[in-house]
Amino acid sequence: MYLKNLLQTWRWFGPNDPVSLRDIKQAGVQGIVTALHHIPHGELWTKEEINKRTDELKKEGFKWSVVESLTVHEDIKQRNGNYKLYIDKYKQSLANLAACGVRIITYNFMPVNDWTRTDINYTMPDESQALYFNWSDLALFDIYLLGRKDAAKDYPPAILEKAAQKNNDFTRAQKDTLVDTVLFGIPGEEKRTTEGMKRELEKYKDMDREALKSNLAYFLQEVAPVAAELGLKLAIHPDDPPFDILGLPRIVCNRQDLLDILSYSSAPSNGICFCTGSLGANPGNDLPDMINEINTKIHFAHLRNTKRDAEGNFYEADHLDGDTDMYAVMKALLNVQQLSSLQIPFRPDHGHQMLDDMGKVNNPGYSAIGRLRGLAELRGLELGILRGMQ
Protein backbone atom coordinates (compact mmCIF):
# COMPACT_ATOMS: atom_id res chain seq x y z
CA MET A 1 0.00 0.00 0.00
CA TYR A 2 1.36 3.41 -1.01
CA LEU A 3 1.22 5.99 1.75
CA LYS A 4 1.78 9.69 1.12
CA ASN A 5 4.37 11.54 3.16
CA LEU A 6 4.29 15.21 4.09
CA LEU A 7 6.19 17.72 1.96
CA GLN A 8 9.44 18.73 3.69
CA THR A 9 10.17 22.46 3.42
CA TRP A 10 12.48 25.09 4.89
CA ARG A 11 11.91 28.75 5.69
CA TRP A 12 14.16 31.24 3.92
CA PHE A 13 14.03 34.99 4.53
CA GLY A 14 15.41 36.02 1.15
CA PRO A 15 18.83 36.99 -0.20
CA ASN A 16 19.96 38.53 3.11
CA ASP A 17 19.22 35.38 5.11
CA PRO A 18 22.46 34.15 6.76
CA VAL A 19 21.41 30.62 5.75
CA SER A 20 21.79 30.60 1.97
CA LEU A 21 19.88 28.53 -0.56
CA ARG A 22 23.07 26.58 -1.22
CA ASP A 23 23.21 25.76 2.49
CA ILE A 24 19.57 24.71 2.45
CA LYS A 25 20.18 22.42 -0.52
CA GLN A 26 22.24 20.19 1.80
CA ALA A 27 19.23 19.80 4.14
CA GLY A 28 17.46 17.65 1.53
CA VAL A 29 14.15 19.52 1.67
CA GLN A 30 11.76 19.56 -1.25
CA GLY A 31 10.50 23.14 -1.14
CA ILE A 32 11.03 26.64 0.22
CA VAL A 33 8.80 28.75 2.43
CA THR A 34 9.47 32.46 1.90
CA ALA A 35 7.92 35.89 1.37
CA LEU A 36 8.66 39.28 -0.12
CA HIS A 37 9.65 40.84 3.18
CA HIS A 38 11.00 43.98 1.51
CA ILE A 39 7.51 45.01 0.36
CA PRO A 40 5.71 47.09 3.03
CA HIS A 41 2.67 45.55 4.69
CA GLY A 42 -0.45 45.93 2.61
CA GLU A 43 1.29 46.92 -0.61
CA LEU A 44 0.82 45.00 -3.84
CA TRP A 45 2.98 41.99 -4.66
CA THR A 46 3.60 42.42 -8.39
CA LYS A 47 4.18 39.57 -10.80
CA GLU A 48 7.61 41.03 -11.46
CA GLU A 49 8.66 40.77 -7.81
CA ILE A 50 7.08 37.33 -7.38
CA ASN A 51 8.82 35.99 -10.49
CA LYS A 52 12.11 37.48 -9.35
CA ARG A 53 11.89 35.48 -6.13
CA THR A 54 10.72 32.37 -7.97
CA ASP A 55 13.69 32.63 -10.34
CA GLU A 56 16.11 32.98 -7.42
CA LEU A 57 14.77 29.72 -6.04
CA LYS A 58 14.79 27.92 -9.40
CA LYS A 59 18.48 28.71 -9.90
CA GLU A 60 19.23 26.55 -6.86
CA GLY A 61 16.74 23.85 -7.83
CA PHE A 62 13.93 24.85 -5.48
CA LYS A 63 10.21 25.51 -5.83
CA TRP A 64 8.42 28.23 -3.89
CA SER A 65 6.07 25.91 -2.01
CA VAL A 66 4.47 28.23 0.56
CA VAL A 67 4.17 31.97 1.05
CA GLU A 68 4.87 32.92 4.66
CA SER A 69 3.44 35.44 4.99
CA LEU A 70 1.28 37.66 2.81
CA THR A 71 0.80 40.15 5.62
CA VAL A 72 -2.61 41.57 6.48
CA HIS A 73 -2.48 45.36 6.94
CA GLU A 74 -3.49 46.79 10.33
CA ASP A 75 -6.33 48.77 8.71
CA ILE A 76 -7.92 45.44 7.71
CA LYS A 77 -7.58 44.07 11.24
CA GLN A 78 -9.24 47.24 12.57
CA ARG A 79 -11.71 47.45 9.64
CA ASN A 80 -10.91 51.12 9.58
CA GLY A 81 -9.12 53.70 7.43
CA ASN A 82 -8.15 52.34 4.00
CA TYR A 83 -9.15 48.73 4.76
CA LYS A 84 -11.15 48.29 1.54
CA LEU A 85 -8.20 49.46 -0.54
CA TYR A 86 -5.88 47.06 1.27
CA ILE A 87 -8.30 44.16 0.78
CA ASP A 88 -8.39 44.94 -2.95
CA LYS A 89 -4.58 44.92 -3.01
CA TYR A 90 -4.58 41.62 -1.11
CA LYS A 91 -6.88 40.07 -3.70
CA GLN A 92 -4.67 41.29 -6.53
CA SER A 93 -1.56 39.95 -4.79
CA LEU A 94 -3.31 36.57 -4.54
CA ALA A 95 -4.12 36.71 -8.25
CA ASN A 96 -0.50 37.51 -9.05
CA LEU A 97 0.77 34.65 -6.89
CA ALA A 98 -1.63 32.25 -8.59
CA ALA A 99 -0.49 33.44 -12.02
CA CYS A 100 3.12 32.74 -10.98
CA GLY A 101 2.32 29.23 -9.70
CA VAL A 102 2.48 29.76 -5.91
CA ARG A 103 -0.48 27.99 -4.33
CA ILE A 104 -0.34 28.05 -0.50
CA ILE A 105 -0.56 31.38 1.29
CA THR A 106 0.06 31.76 5.02
CA TYR A 107 -1.09 34.83 6.93
CA ASN A 108 -1.84 35.82 10.52
CA PHE A 109 -4.26 38.17 12.26
CA MET A 110 -2.14 39.16 15.26
CA PRO A 111 -2.64 42.87 15.99
CA VAL A 112 0.41 45.18 16.06
CA ASN A 113 3.09 42.68 17.12
CA ASP A 114 3.83 39.42 15.36
CA TRP A 115 5.44 36.58 17.35
CA THR A 116 6.63 37.75 20.75
CA ARG A 117 9.49 36.51 22.94
CA THR A 118 11.35 38.04 25.86
CA ASP A 119 14.68 36.24 25.35
CA ILE A 120 16.23 34.98 22.12
CA ASN A 121 19.35 33.54 23.80
CA TYR A 122 17.91 31.41 26.61
CA THR A 123 20.59 28.94 27.72
CA MET A 124 19.55 25.30 27.72
CA PRO A 125 21.10 22.62 29.97
CA ASP A 126 23.27 21.45 27.03
CA GLU A 127 24.43 25.10 26.56
CA SER A 128 22.62 25.57 23.25
CA GLN A 129 20.40 28.64 23.06
CA ALA A 130 16.63 28.77 22.63
CA LEU A 131 13.79 31.28 22.34
CA TYR A 132 11.95 32.00 25.59
CA PHE A 133 8.79 33.77 26.76
CA ASN A 134 8.53 34.99 30.36
CA TRP A 135 5.47 36.76 31.76
CA SER A 136 7.30 38.92 34.32
CA ASP A 137 9.77 40.03 31.64
CA LEU A 138 6.84 41.00 29.41
CA ALA A 139 5.25 42.88 32.33
CA LEU A 140 8.54 44.71 32.89
CA PHE A 141 8.54 45.76 29.25
CA ASP A 142 4.84 46.61 29.17
CA ILE A 143 4.60 48.60 32.41
CA TYR A 144 8.03 50.18 32.88
CA LEU A 145 9.69 50.34 29.44
CA LEU A 146 6.77 50.76 27.05
CA GLY A 147 4.63 52.59 29.60
CA ARG A 148 1.27 51.40 28.28
CA LYS A 149 -1.59 53.03 30.15
CA ASP A 150 -3.17 50.78 32.80
CA ALA A 151 -0.90 47.89 31.78
CA ALA A 152 -0.54 46.71 35.39
CA LYS A 153 -4.24 45.72 35.41
CA ASP A 154 -3.48 42.90 32.97
CA TYR A 155 -1.11 40.95 35.24
CA PRO A 156 -1.63 38.97 38.48
CA PRO A 157 0.02 40.21 41.70
CA ALA A 158 2.83 37.63 41.64
CA ILE A 159 3.90 38.72 38.14
CA LEU A 160 3.66 42.40 39.08
CA GLU A 161 5.91 41.81 42.07
CA LYS A 162 8.53 40.04 39.94
CA ALA A 163 8.36 42.72 37.27
CA ALA A 164 8.91 45.47 39.85
CA GLN A 165 11.90 43.63 41.25
CA LYS A 166 13.38 43.15 37.80
CA ASN A 167 12.87 46.83 37.06
CA ASN A 168 15.06 47.58 40.08
CA ASP A 169 17.65 44.88 39.33
CA PHE A 170 18.08 45.01 35.54
CA THR A 171 20.83 47.15 34.09
CA ARG A 172 20.10 49.66 31.33
CA ALA A 173 21.72 47.27 28.86
CA GLN A 174 19.46 44.41 29.99
CA LYS A 175 16.40 46.59 29.61
CA ASP A 176 17.47 47.73 26.16
CA THR A 177 17.97 44.10 25.12
CA LEU A 178 14.49 43.23 26.38
CA VAL A 179 12.98 46.09 24.36
CA ASP A 180 14.84 45.00 21.22
CA THR A 181 13.69 41.41 21.74
CA VAL A 182 9.99 42.16 22.19
CA LEU A 183 10.03 44.50 19.20
CA PHE A 184 12.15 42.18 17.02
CA GLY A 185 9.44 41.22 14.54
CA ILE A 186 10.09 39.44 11.25
CA PRO A 187 13.61 39.49 9.74
CA GLY A 188 13.88 41.79 6.76
CA GLU A 189 10.89 43.92 7.73
CA GLU A 190 10.77 47.43 9.17
CA LYS A 191 11.69 47.55 12.86
CA ARG A 192 9.16 48.93 15.32
CA THR A 193 9.94 51.48 18.03
CA THR A 194 8.30 51.76 21.46
CA GLU A 195 6.65 55.03 20.44
CA GLY A 196 5.40 53.47 17.23
CA MET A 197 4.05 50.50 19.14
CA LYS A 198 2.24 52.74 21.63
CA ARG A 199 0.54 54.59 18.77
CA GLU A 200 -0.58 51.31 17.21
CA LEU A 201 -1.78 49.88 20.54
CA GLU A 202 -3.91 52.96 21.10
CA LYS A 203 -5.91 52.12 17.97
CA TYR A 204 -6.99 48.83 19.57
CA LYS A 205 -7.90 50.22 23.01
CA ASP A 206 -11.65 49.66 22.47
CA MET A 207 -11.41 46.39 20.51
CA ASP A 208 -12.22 43.09 22.20
CA ARG A 209 -11.98 39.52 20.95
CA GLU A 210 -15.44 39.52 19.39
CA ALA A 211 -14.79 42.70 17.43
CA LEU A 212 -11.47 41.41 16.12
CA LYS A 213 -13.09 38.07 15.21
CA SER A 214 -15.76 39.97 13.31
CA ASN A 215 -13.06 41.79 11.36
CA LEU A 216 -11.34 38.49 10.53
CA ALA A 217 -14.66 37.04 9.39
CA TYR A 218 -15.19 40.04 7.10
CA PHE A 219 -11.69 39.66 5.66
CA LEU A 220 -12.19 35.95 4.95
CA GLN A 221 -15.62 36.48 3.41
CA GLU A 222 -14.00 38.94 1.03
CA VAL A 223 -10.78 37.08 0.28
CA ALA A 224 -11.41 33.32 0.62
CA PRO A 225 -13.84 33.03 -2.35
CA VAL A 226 -11.32 34.87 -4.53
CA ALA A 227 -8.56 32.52 -3.39
CA ALA A 228 -10.77 29.52 -4.14
CA GLU A 229 -11.47 30.73 -7.68
CA LEU A 230 -7.71 31.10 -8.16
CA GLY A 231 -7.05 27.56 -6.91
CA LEU A 232 -5.18 28.79 -3.82
CA LYS A 233 -5.09 27.52 -0.25
CA LEU A 234 -5.07 30.01 2.64
CA ALA A 235 -3.53 29.01 5.97
CA ILE A 236 -3.95 31.22 9.03
CA HIS A 237 -1.12 30.97 11.57
CA PRO A 238 -2.08 30.74 15.26
CA ASP A 239 -1.22 33.55 17.63
CA ASP A 240 2.23 33.32 19.18
CA PRO A 241 1.98 33.17 22.14
CA PRO A 242 -1.66 32.04 22.23
CA PHE A 243 -2.72 34.53 24.91
CA ASP A 244 -3.82 38.15 25.08
CA ILE A 245 -0.71 40.32 25.46
CA LEU A 246 0.03 44.06 25.64
CA GLY A 247 -3.67 44.77 25.98
CA LEU A 248 -4.36 43.15 22.60
CA PRO A 249 -6.96 40.46 21.96
CA ARG A 250 -5.70 37.22 20.49
CA ILE A 251 -8.24 35.21 18.50
CA VAL A 252 -6.34 32.22 17.05
CA CYS A 253 -5.41 30.40 20.25
CA ASN A 254 -7.46 27.23 20.71
CA ARG A 255 -9.77 24.65 19.19
CA GLN A 256 -12.86 26.85 19.22
CA ASP A 257 -10.99 29.73 17.61
CA LEU A 258 -9.92 27.49 14.73
CA LEU A 259 -13.42 26.11 14.27
CA ASP A 260 -14.81 29.65 14.28
CA ILE A 261 -12.34 30.68 11.58
CA LEU A 262 -13.33 27.74 9.40
CA SER A 263 -16.98 28.73 9.84
CA TYR A 264 -16.37 32.29 8.56
CA SER A 265 -16.11 31.08 4.98
CA SER A 266 -17.10 27.76 3.41
CA ALA A 267 -14.71 28.36 0.51
CA PRO A 268 -12.32 25.41 0.09
CA SER A 269 -9.42 27.85 0.26
CA ASN A 270 -10.11 28.68 3.92
CA GLY A 271 -7.74 26.64 6.11
CA ILE A 272 -5.23 26.46 8.90
CA CYS A 273 -1.47 26.59 9.35
CA PHE A 274 -1.20 24.14 12.23
CA CYS A 275 1.69 25.37 14.39
CA THR A 276 2.45 22.94 17.20
CA GLY A 277 4.64 25.50 18.93
CA SER A 278 2.06 28.27 19.11
CA LEU A 279 -0.87 25.99 19.94
CA GLY A 280 1.27 23.81 22.20
CA ALA A 281 2.07 26.75 24.51
CA ASN A 282 -1.60 26.70 25.56
CA PRO A 283 -2.04 23.86 28.08
CA GLY A 284 -5.73 23.57 27.21
CA ASN A 285 -5.03 22.43 23.66
CA ASP A 286 -5.03 18.71 22.76
CA LEU A 287 -3.08 18.90 19.51
CA PRO A 288 -3.73 15.40 18.08
CA ASP A 289 -7.47 15.77 18.71
CA MET A 290 -7.42 19.21 17.07
CA ILE A 291 -5.67 17.77 14.01
CA ASN A 292 -8.25 15.00 13.76
CA GLU A 293 -11.10 17.52 13.96
CA ILE A 294 -9.68 20.13 11.57
CA ASN A 295 -8.54 17.34 9.27
CA THR A 296 -8.02 18.29 5.62
CA LYS A 297 -8.48 21.99 6.38
CA ILE A 298 -4.86 21.87 7.56
CA HIS A 299 -3.01 23.37 4.60
CA PHE A 300 0.44 23.76 6.18
CA ALA A 301 2.18 22.67 9.39
CA HIS A 302 4.90 24.09 11.61
CA LEU A 303 6.43 21.43 13.82
CA ARG A 304 8.22 22.53 16.99
CA ASN A 305 7.91 21.93 20.70
CA THR A 306 7.68 24.06 23.83
CA LYS A 307 8.12 23.42 27.54
CA ARG A 308 5.95 25.34 30.00
CA ASP A 309 6.37 26.00 33.70
CA ALA A 310 3.68 26.57 36.36
CA GLU A 311 3.52 30.32 35.57
CA GLY A 312 2.95 29.75 31.86
CA ASN A 313 6.45 30.81 30.85
CA PHE A 314 7.85 28.60 28.10
CA TYR A 315 10.98 27.90 26.11
CA GLU A 316 11.44 26.25 22.74
CA ALA A 317 12.35 22.65 23.51
CA ASP A 318 13.96 20.05 21.25
CA HIS A 319 11.53 18.97 18.54
CA LEU A 320 10.89 15.56 20.11
CA ASP A 321 10.92 16.87 23.68
CA GLY A 322 8.69 19.33 25.50
CA ASP A 323 5.00 19.24 26.36
CA THR A 324 3.75 18.20 22.90
CA ASP A 325 3.67 14.51 22.03
CA MET A 326 5.26 14.88 18.60
CA TYR A 327 4.75 11.20 17.81
CA ALA A 328 0.99 11.57 18.26
CA VAL A 329 1.00 14.84 16.29
CA MET A 330 2.94 13.33 13.39
CA LYS A 331 0.74 10.25 13.32
CA ALA A 332 -2.41 12.38 13.24
CA LEU A 333 -0.98 14.56 10.46
CA LEU A 334 -0.04 11.53 8.40
CA ASN A 335 -3.55 10.11 8.80
CA VAL A 336 -4.90 13.42 7.48
CA GLN A 337 -2.35 13.36 4.66
CA GLN A 338 -3.80 10.09 3.37
CA LEU A 339 -7.20 11.81 3.03
CA SER A 340 -5.94 15.02 1.48
CA SER A 341 -5.55 15.73 -2.21
CA LEU A 342 -2.86 18.22 -1.21
CA GLN A 343 0.58 17.09 -0.13
CA ILE A 344 0.66 18.98 3.17
CA PRO A 345 3.91 20.93 3.56
CA PHE A 346 5.62 21.06 6.92
CA ARG A 347 8.78 22.73 8.08
CA PRO A 348 10.94 22.26 11.18
CA ASP A 349 10.00 25.44 13.00
CA HIS A 350 12.67 27.19 15.01
CA GLY A 351 15.70 25.43 16.36
CA HIS A 352 18.37 25.91 18.96
CA GLN A 353 21.50 27.90 18.26
CA MET A 354 24.14 25.23 18.66
CA LEU A 355 27.56 23.90 17.58
CA ASP A 356 29.21 26.03 14.87
CA ASP A 357 26.23 28.40 14.73
CA MET A 358 26.99 29.67 18.25
CA GLY A 359 28.07 33.28 18.04
CA LYS A 360 27.19 33.67 14.37
CA VAL A 361 24.71 36.27 13.13
CA ASN A 362 21.46 34.37 12.68
CA ASN A 363 17.77 35.16 12.60
CA PRO A 364 16.38 34.16 16.03
CA GLY A 365 15.11 30.59 15.89
CA TYR A 366 16.32 30.16 12.33
CA SER A 367 19.96 29.14 12.53
CA ALA A 368 20.86 26.21 10.29
CA ILE A 369 22.14 23.46 12.57
CA GLY A 370 19.34 23.52 15.13
CA ARG A 371 16.75 23.24 12.39
CA LEU A 372 18.75 20.49 10.70
CA ARG A 373 18.62 18.51 13.92
CA GLY A 374 14.87 19.10 14.13
CA LEU A 375 14.32 18.13 10.51
CA ALA A 376 16.34 14.94 10.93
CA GLU A 377 14.34 13.94 13.99
CA LEU A 378 11.00 14.72 12.33
CA ARG A 379 11.99 12.96 9.10
CA GLY A 380 12.94 9.82 11.02
CA LEU A 381 9.76 9.97 13.07
CA GLU A 382 7.67 10.30 9.93
CA LEU A 383 9.37 7.37 8.20
CA GLY A 384 8.93 5.14 11.23
CA ILE A 385 5.23 5.95 11.51
CA LEU A 386 4.64 5.43 7.78
CA ARG A 387 6.35 2.05 7.88
CA GLY A 388 4.18 1.08 10.82
CA MET A 389 1.03 2.09 8.92
CA GLN A 390 1.73 -0.25 5.99
Report pLDDT for 2.
64
Residues 108 and 139 in one domain: no
Q: pLDDT tens digits, residue range 137-181?
A: 999 999 999 999 999 999 999 999 999 999 999 999 999 999 999
Question: Of residues 275, 299, 315, 357, which has the active-site annotation?
Answer: 275
pLDDT tens figures, 238-286: 999 999 999 999 999 999 999 999 999 999 999 999 999 999 999 999 9
In a domain, 326, yes or no: yes
101 and 150 assigned to the same domain: no
CA distance 374 to 380: 10
pLDDT at 1: 53
Residue 92 located in a structural domain: yes
Q: Do 332 and 274 have their domain in common?
A: yes
- List the CATH number of the domain containing 371: 3.20.20.150
Whether residue 298 is found in the same domain as residue 374 = yes
Q: What is the DSSP letter of 6?
A: P
Residue 275 sits in the same domain as residue 318: yes
62 and 22 housed in the same domain? yes
Report if residue 1 sits inside a domain: no
User: Of 122, 137, 240, 302, which residue is the catalytic one?
Assistant: 302
* Contacts with 311 (C-beta within 8 Å, 6 or more apart), sequence order: 135, 136, 158, 159
User: 299 catalytic, yes or no?
Assistant: no
Q: Which of 196, 223, 258 is the last residue of a domain?
A: 196
Q: Is residue 323 within 8 Å of 305, Cβ to Cβ?
A: yes
Q: Is residue 203 part of a domain?
A: no
Q: Are residues 187 and 226 in the same domain?
A: no
137, 144, 237, 315: the catalytic one is 237
- What is the pLDDT, as a whole number, of residue 74? 96
Whether a cis peptide bond, with omega within 30° of 0, leads into 241 is: yes
In a domain, 201, yes or no: no
Q: In terms of domains, do 157 and 290 share one?
A: no
Is 350 annotated as catalytic?
yes
Task: Judge whether 382 lies within some domain.
Answer: yes
Which residues form the domain of 140?
119-196
Spell 166-188 as b/e; 16+ CB within 10 A means b.
Answer: bbeebeeeebebbbebbbbebbb
51 and 147 share a domain? no
Rounded to whole angstroms, how far apart are CA atoms 42 and 189? 13
273 and 358 together in one domain = yes
pLDDT for 192 = 82
Look up 302 and say whether it is catalytic: yes
Confirm whether 349 is a catalytic residue. Answer: yes
**Residue ranges, the chain, pLDDT below 50:** none
65 phi, psi to nearest 5 deg: -85, -40
* 277 and 383 fall within a common domain: yes
